[in-house]
């Protein structure tokens, strides 16, 4: 039993305003795995006050960037040294396969290092060459910290979401209040322990597990200068409206309904082997999952059959079992949501190739869903337009390349996508036509040096690398 009975506020463990602890249960079998304090508005007030005081005092924001980078590098080393515990806690809370959470640890290192490289090379201050060489005036352009950052993250990938905001925000000299999901109280409590061991100055970072109402209280707080949010598009719209009313800076990484285009010359077996990871990792609870599979009519049944065989080969069960690929959904309501979409797909007339709404046999205690493949899907169907966030794949036929691009772009979202072809140059041509923030060719992994984010309803702003770091700064021009 893991217990966090205090909250990490301003760098110190503090008694919560509400002493009641929330019980956390395993998505696998509903056993109790821990208890944790949950933040209330009074705790948010304390955290924001600490962040405001530390920022206004200026010690951290005036610390040279190279020294801020050194602190964050120390944090990254601590996380690497505790990678097994990080992976274990995320798997325990989320139901993600343990091999997956372990395999993701090097990615956290690459993500952090990309930010730190960007911070080292960032143009924090530069003198502009005047366009008129005879002018006695020249300009200095500075990039300064925004202020107090409210970072709000979802449950599906807690460490990645947390560090993708904490590291650039702190590197830029801001103070941060990180609001995490109650389901991740244990892994994020451990994150707070690592931050404490890093030795960061007092007041600049807090970690608060809290419900949606308290989250809205935080983002609405008058002392918050910037909101950095990852989560659903619905919640993002609400946050954007609050930011608009209060003229807060805001960045939003939201949902997706990404398409993978299998071009006629693609190696279908290679594509399907790659889509096993690109579409179904983390139990399908991933915003970048490529769940709309676009297949040419001439090879349509070949693609459908290959996907059916692949999905039916996946082990569903206990996430701690090394042979498990698909674990449970995080909560019973998420399980029911995914099952209801499967039922909807049947009602809409899609062909059920494998899977279905039934709970896998022998796994009735957990929040399990049977991995499902639908064929003969029309892109206008709700199952093709709405984010399901579970192990459900849709195979949509297309007539020619123009039709494939049209279908891929016919979505309210634009977060990710993929192209599969034996001709890399041709695949790149198709990738350039997709209205989406990131595109992978032949299953390439996401690069952390490049900007990550979405078009359309998939968000505003970008994360990762120099572009992501820049969203936590303000421009100042000084003329001399």
Tell me which long-range contacts 437-442 makes (C-beta under 8 A, separation of at least 24).
437/462, 438/288, 440/278, 440/416, 442/270, 442/271, 442/274
Q: Is 253 a catalytic residue?
A: yes
Residue of 253, 285, 387, 463 marked active site: 253
Burial class (CB in 10 A: 0-12, 13-18, 19+), 361: exposed
Residue of 93, 183, 216, 287 marked active site: 287
Q: Is 183 a catalytic residue?
A: no
The 3 state secondary structure assigned to 190-242 is: HHHHHHHHHCCCCCCEEEEECCHHHHHHHHHCCCCCEEEEECCHHHHHHHHHH
CA distances from 156 to 95, 251, 259 (A): 10, 19, 20
Q: How far, in Å, CA of 112 to CA of 168, rounded?
A: 9
Catalytic site positions: 253, 287
């Amino acid at each position: 039993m893991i217990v966090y009975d205090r909250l990490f506020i301003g760098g110190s463990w503090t008694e919560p305003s509400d002493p009641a602890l929330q019980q956390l249960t395993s998505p696998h079998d509903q056993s109790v795995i821990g208890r944790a304090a949950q933040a209330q508005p009074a705790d948010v007030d304390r955290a924001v006050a600490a962040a405001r005081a530390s920022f206004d005092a200026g010690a951290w924001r005036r610390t040279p960037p190279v020294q801020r980078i050194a602190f964050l590098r120390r944090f990254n080393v601590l996380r690497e040294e505790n990678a097994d515990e990080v992976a274990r806690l995320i798997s325990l809370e989320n139901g993600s396969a343990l091999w997956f959470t372990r395999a993701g640890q090097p990615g956290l290192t690459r993500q952090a290092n990309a930010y730190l490289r960007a911070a080292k090379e960032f143009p924090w201050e530069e003198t502009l060459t005047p366009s008129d060489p005879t002018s006695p005036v020249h300009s200095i352009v500075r990039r300064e910290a925004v202020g107090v950052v409210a970072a709000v993250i979802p449950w599906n990938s807690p460490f990645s979401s947390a560090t993708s905001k904490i590291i650039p925000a702190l590197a830029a000299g801001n103070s941060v209040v990180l609001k995490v999901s109650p389901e991740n109280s244990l892994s994020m409590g451990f994150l707070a322990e690592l931050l404490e061991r890093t030795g960061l100055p007092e007041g600049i970072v807090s970690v608060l597990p809290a419900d949606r109402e308290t989250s809205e209280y935080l983002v609405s707080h008058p002392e918050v200068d910037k909101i950095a949010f990852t989560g659903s598009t619905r919640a993002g719209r609400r946050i954007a409206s609050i930011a608009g009313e209060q003229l807060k800076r805001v960045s939003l990484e939201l949902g997706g309904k990404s398409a993978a285009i299998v071009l006629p010359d693609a190696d279908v077996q290679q594509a399907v082997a790659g889509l096993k990871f690109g579409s179904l990792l983390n139990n399908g609870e991933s915003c970048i999952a490529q769940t709309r599979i676009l297949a040419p009519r001439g090879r349509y049944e070949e693609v459908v059959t290959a996907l059916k065989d692949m999905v039916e080969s996946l082990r569903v069960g206990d996430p701690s079992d090394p042979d498990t690929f698909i674990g449970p959904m995080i909560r019973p309501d998420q399980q029911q949501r995914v099952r209801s979409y499967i039922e909807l797909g049947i009602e809409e007339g899609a062909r059920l190739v494998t899977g279905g709404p039934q709970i896998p046999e022998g796994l009735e205690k957990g929040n399990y869903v049977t991995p499902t493949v639908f064929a003969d899907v029309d892109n206008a169907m709700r199952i093709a337009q709405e984010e399901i966030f579970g192990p459900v794949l849709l195979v949509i036929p297309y007539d020619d390349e123009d039709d494939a691009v049209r279908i891929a772009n016919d979505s309210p979202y634009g977060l990710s996508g993929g192209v599969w072809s034996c001709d890399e140059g041709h695949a790149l041509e198709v990738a350039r036509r997709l209205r989406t923030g990131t595109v992978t060719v032949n299953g390439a992994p996401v690069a952390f040096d490049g900007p990550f984010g979405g078009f359309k309803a998939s968000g505003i702003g970008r994360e990762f690398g120099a572009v992501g770091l820049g969203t936590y700064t303000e421009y100042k021009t000084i003329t001399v």
